[in-house]
Amino acid sequence: MNQNIDTKCIKNISFGKVPIDEKEIDAVSEVLKSGWLAHGPKTKEFEQKFAKLCNAKHAVAVNSATAALHLCLLSKGLGKGDEVIVPTQTHVATAHAVMYCGATPKFADVRIDNYNMDMESVKEQITDKTKAIIPVHFAGHPVEMNKLISIAKENNLFIIEDAAHSPLAKFNGKLIGSLDTDAACFSFYPVKHITTGEGGMVVTNDDKIAEDATLLRAFGIDRSTWLRTQTERPWIYHVTKIGYNFRMTEVGAAMGVSQLDKLQSLIKIRQKNANLYEKELKGTKAIKLPQIVGDIEHVYLFYQILIDNESAKTKRDELIQKLKDKGIGTSVHYPLPVPLMPIYREKFGYKEGDFPIGEKIAKEALSLPVHHGISSDDITFICDSIKELVE
């Protein structure tokens, strides 16, 4: 333990911090003064810059990553009677998007070392009804995409990546969003690497997915309001599909454009902080650290450790409260495997014991902050506090 750190003092270390400064404030103010607040030029600029950032052909801005997943699945024709494989450890939105289409989520258990979907479990879920796989790059660690893509091709399945945790993450040197999949869906929720308040993005090299997502995000109207203003009869439009109101606002897009320039530097800070956690916590009894698996670049939305409740002096749930008492914000990702959430348990009959690794992680997981607002001293304080409580 670092003797210079008083672990009895109380800090104010938040789990998340929104990366907003004067640049974003000025950009939002400019949009507000313009009077053009929705589906306008800032949204287009954000899309173009994000597509370029991901080395992808198209980017379509929407109001959430959930909407992005939903639109991609609709574009691929997913519906009643179809099955989609998703991991047990993810936000419920991943499975909900499948349900919105009338299809059925099938759950693959995860790995204990990096919390991503296990390839053998994925194979076990494949039936003649399976149409797609949604891998989640958990906390910013890419899934074993070479193996997953091979599985998908062997079984004629499409892949929609849930990349809500992983902007600029890399697998085998290639950016998430540029791999040989159908699409990747990103999130700009406030606790993510960058934020638009609420927001998401479809990134794809598939012309049809981009066209469908653009159409369906705005009620199925064939021309955007911004484009119609450039014509002689701007009031004319046609509705060709039953679409949704999934559009991003110009205010959100302005925030996004402003933040893209600092995304790489924000990720570097997260990586540095994660490395410090590993250094400080390595060898601590009752704690299992996450592992880097394969040739990947991890972008660390958070740093998740596992607390061995059998051997730890302080069990996980009590530890969370005691850290809170010290002014340390933490979280749990996630409180239950998705199939054991009441709605899925009741609808599909899942029970405890069906997903042993996912269930173990849910009971032991503790997510620690890595954002730009915490210092090295803060991390040392967090680690010393944890070691003091568990050893």
Domain ranges of the chain: 22-260, 263-390
Q: Which two tokens stand for residue 291?
A: 């592992």
Q: Which fold has domain 22-260?
A: Aspartate Aminotransferase; domain 2 (3.40.640)
* Cβ neighbours of 165 (radius 10 Å): 26
In this prediction, residue 233 carries a pLDDT of: 65
Mean pLDDT of 218-236: 68
Q: pLDDT tens digits for 335-348?
A: 999 999 999 999 99
* Cβ neighbours of 58 (radius 10 Å): 22
What whole-number percentage of the chain has pLDDT above 90? 91
Confidence grade of residue 9 (pLDDT, cut at 50, 70, 90) = confident
In this prediction, residue 324 carries a pLDDT of: 98
Q: Are 335 and 87 in contact (CB under 8 A)?
A: no
Amino acid at 50: F
Pick the closest to residue 41 from 254, 232, 215 (CA basis). Answer: 254
Q: What stretches of 229-349 adopt beta strand conformation (E)?
A: 287-288, 296-297, 303-307
- Residue located via tokens 């945790």: 165
In this prediction, residue 38 carries a pLDDT of: 87
In this prediction, residue 276 carries a pLDDT of: 99
Q: Which two tokens stand for residue 208?
A: 């049809």
The values of phi and psi at residue 366, to 5°, are -140, 120
CATH of 263-390, one of 3.40.50.880, 3.90.1150.10, 3.40.1160.10, 3.60.20.10: 3.90.1150.10
- Residue located via tokens 């090295």: 376
Pick the closest to residue 364 from 292, 326, 312 (CA basis). Answer: 312
Q: Which two tokens stand for residue 141?
A: 């660690």
In this chain, the answer to whether the domains covering 22-260 and 263-390 adopt an identical fold is: no
Q: Are 268 and 371 in contact (CB under 8 A)?
A: no
Please state whether beta strands 296-297 and 174-175 pair in parallel, antiparallel, or not at all (unpaired): unpaired
